[in-house]
Amino acid sequence: MNYELLEDSAWRGPLMLAMQRAIVADFSSTDWHELGYLTGFHDYIRGHARLLRSLGFGDEDYGACVFQALEHFANNDIRALVAVVDHAKVRPHLEREQAAKLIELGYQAGNVPAVLPTVSASEVVRRALQDADHLLATSGAPSAIDRLHTAMHGYLKSTCQDCAISLPEGATLTQAYKALRAHHPALQSLGEHDGEIGRVLGSFASVLDALNTLRNHGSVAHPNEDIVERAEGELVVNAVRTIFHYLSQKMR
């Protein structure tokens, strides 16, 4: 990994801005404490005159305080800045906004951007997506398959429920997707190329059916001896993320 690039203030500038935005949007007090213990800067974070206080009260200077903390990390231990880059609540934002910078740092190129949970997503879906991003960053794609399966299953079932689309008791991932595809109004008219797009959507069902099998027999969800290889794991992660992005866009 080319972490020495982070020591160049001019190079890291856009990355710092994206990290600050992600933290302001999603970090809680607990996240700051955890990051402090992880990086060895807990005393700095706890002792900062305004960081946690401005977060707690929703004060306008919170964003500036986040910049101060990031600069402190950069100036005192670049490994702390790496921890921010890898954080489960930060990395998805960076993949969307600063993918080129991540590639320069040496992160895997070609990944479909992470799925950012919507406000309406259930807590189970939100937590599963965050867990998947964390596992992808720390343990690799094969470890993320189980959590992506949980997130997709929960998302499909809750979307069907919100639209009064009936599902059989204990509906599988594939059954929930097929019901959504068949009955959700947003998926009935697919534009001028309805037939070809319909074929793509039909292939998504095969992807999700394979995801179910891989989750049960090729992931760390169970004590399987033959875990899917890293490249194939990334293929699965990217495929599921693609389905998530499409459905989220259509369901708006």
In this predicted structure, what is the pLDDT of residue 90?
92
User: Do the Cβ atoms of 55 and 127 come closer than 8 Å?
Assistant: no
* CA nearest to 165, candidates 189, 188, 149, 181: 181
Helices (H) and strands (E) in the chain — how many of each? 13, 0
Estimate the share of the chain in helix, then strand, then coil, as percent rounded to the nearest 5: 70, 0, 30
How many Å apart are CA 117 and CA 245, to the nearest integer?
10
Angle at Cα 72 formed by Cα 66 and Cα 76, nearest 5°? 155
Rounded to the nearest angstrom, the gap between the alpha carbon of residue 111 and the centroid of all alpha carbons in its chain is 12
Dist CA 95 CA 108 (whole Å): 10
Whose tokens are 């992005």? That residue is: 245
Query: 168 Cβ partners below 8 Å, 6+ apart?
Result: 175
Q: Can you give the C-alpha Rg of the chain in angstroms?
A: 20
This prediction has a pTM of 0.63
Q: What pLDDT tens digit does each residue of the chain (252 aa) get?
A: 788 999 999 999 999 999 999 999 999 999 999 999 999 999 999 999 999 999 999 999 999 999 999 999 999 999 999 999 999 899 888 887 888 888 888 876 456 767 766 645 678 888 888 888 888 877 888 889 999 999 999 999 999 999 999 999 999 999 999 999 999 999 998 989 999 999 999 999 999 999 999 999 999 888 888 899 988 998 999 999 999 989 988 887
Report the amino acid identity of residue 229. E
**219 backbone φψ class: left, alpha, beta (φ>0; ψ -120 to 50):** beta
Predicted confidence at residue 119, as pLDDT, reads: 44
Q: What is the Cα–Cα distance from 20 to 28, expressed in whole angstroms?
A: 13
Residue among 174, 127, 171, 172 at smallest CA distance from 148 = 127
- The pLDDT of residue 108 is 63
